[in-house]
Homo-oligomer: A and B are copies of this chain.
Amino acid sequence: MSKIKVGVAGYGVIGQRLADGVALQGDMELVGIADLAPTLSIRALKEKGMPYNLYLVDGADKSAFDALDIPVSGTFEDLIDKVDIMLDSSPGGVGMKNKALYEAKGVKAIFQGGKKNSVADVFFHGYANYEKGVDKDYLKLTSCNTTGLIRSVDCLDRAYGIEKVAITIIRRVADPGDYHRGLTNALQMDKAPSHQAVDLMTIMPHIEATGILVHTPVTHGHIITVVATGKQKITKEMALEAFQKHPRIRVVRIDDGFKGNASLFRYARDLGNPRGDMYEIGLWEDSIVESGNDIMYAINIPQESVTIPETMDGIRAACGMQKDGAEGTAKTNEYLKIGLFK
């Protein structure tokens, strides 16, 4: 079978990582990436020697790239013409516009979490509803928080059955390198219920979910606490056993030095992971407590990288590379070297 040809629209925080993720898949080929301006990310690509081909979207000023000796391989349409599927991580409203192009050229696409659900046929999560995405043309990935949250809830649900969750999202407000959306010495409230709880119910309609989101002035990872009501009583030991088996969940302990979200970022840097990224969510063993018949625990969401594996799953589903979720996610894990530490 020939390799699936993939393009990436928007080479920002997520787009860069999508490109890197595709480049690691032995059965995919990264045809190129598309962007609008010579951002820092594009300049870094240039300084690295252009490992990926660059295409320019409509409205780009090619002379700005020429002035920096950044080679350009063609237009956005040129890129679309060469691929089987596009990963669209373009900003806010652009994805919807792009979709018309993808449709016109008969190319599949996966949109990142920021867009409206209506952009896609299926609202997708690699573990929770892989099969729904098989052979579909347009998928929308869950957002970073929802992706990580569902990993943990789906894990318990498959093992023991879950009826209800109430979540508290302690949200990192900006990424490292952001200056425009920071928060200084304040915790900011969102109106409840948080969209992540609503999104979880869309993906897992048999579970009732609600939640409160609070923005905090940090950059290295969201923390979510989950109060989950099982169909049966779930003990700490039962929860721990299930979590430890999940390839995309890294169970950590405060006593080992994992004191908070910044420890996981530092650990990923020390591991030599590119950009200090981690594909797994962290889950604190010391946070798991029983509350009557409920189980409560806390997870860490590495917001920049957590959706990459599930997006690779999405390519596998949409392109029919693996028809079965277990096979599809296992293939992604193999190429991204996820879960090897277990």
**Count of this chain's copies in the oligomeric assembly:** 4
The CA-CA distance from A175 to B220 in the complex, in Å, is: 12
Stretch at the interface among A80-88, A128-136, A267-275: A267-275
Please, what's the 1-or-0 string for A194-232, where 1 marks a CB less than 8 Å from any CB in chain B? 000000000000001111101111111101010101000
Query: Could you say which residues of chain B place their CB within 8 Å of the CB of A261?
Result: 186-187
Whether A214 and B170, one on each chain, are in contact in the complex, defined by CB atoms closer than 8 angstroms, is: yes
A116 at the interface (CB under 8 A from B): no
Query: Could you say which residues of chain B place their CB within 8 Å of the CB of A272?
Result: 44, 48, 274-275
The CA-CA distance from A168 to B288 in the complex, in Å, is: 13
The CA-CA distance from A177 to B268 in the complex, in Å, is: 11
Please, what's the 1-or-0 string for A249-268, where 1 marks a CB less than 8 Å from any CB in chain B? 00000101111111101110
Pick the contact of A259: B189, B254, B263, B341 (CB < 8 A): B189
Query: Could you say which residues of chain B place their CB within 8 Å of the CB of A294?
Result: 166
- Given the known A-B contacts A166-B294, A218-B184, A218-B217, are A258 and B227 also in contact in the complex, defined by CB atoms under 8 Å? no
A188 at the interface (CB under 8 A from B): yes
- Given the known A-B contacts A185-B220, A296-B192, are A265 and B177 also in contact in the complex, defined by CB atoms under 8 Å? yes
Whether B270 and A166, one on each chain, are in contact in the complex, defined by CB atoms closer than 8 angstroms, is: no
Whether B164 and A291, one on each chain, are in contact in the complex, defined by CB atoms closer than 8 angstroms, is: yes
A to B CB contacts below 8 Å, 26 in the list? A43-B257, A43-B267, A44-B267, A44-B270, A44-B271, A48-B272, A164-B291, A170-B170, A173-B184, A178-B262, A179-B186, A182-B185, A182-B186, A183-B184, A184-B219, A186-B218, A187-B223, A187-B260, A189-B223, A189-B254, A210-B291, A210-B296, A217-B217, A229-B292, A269-B275, A269-B276
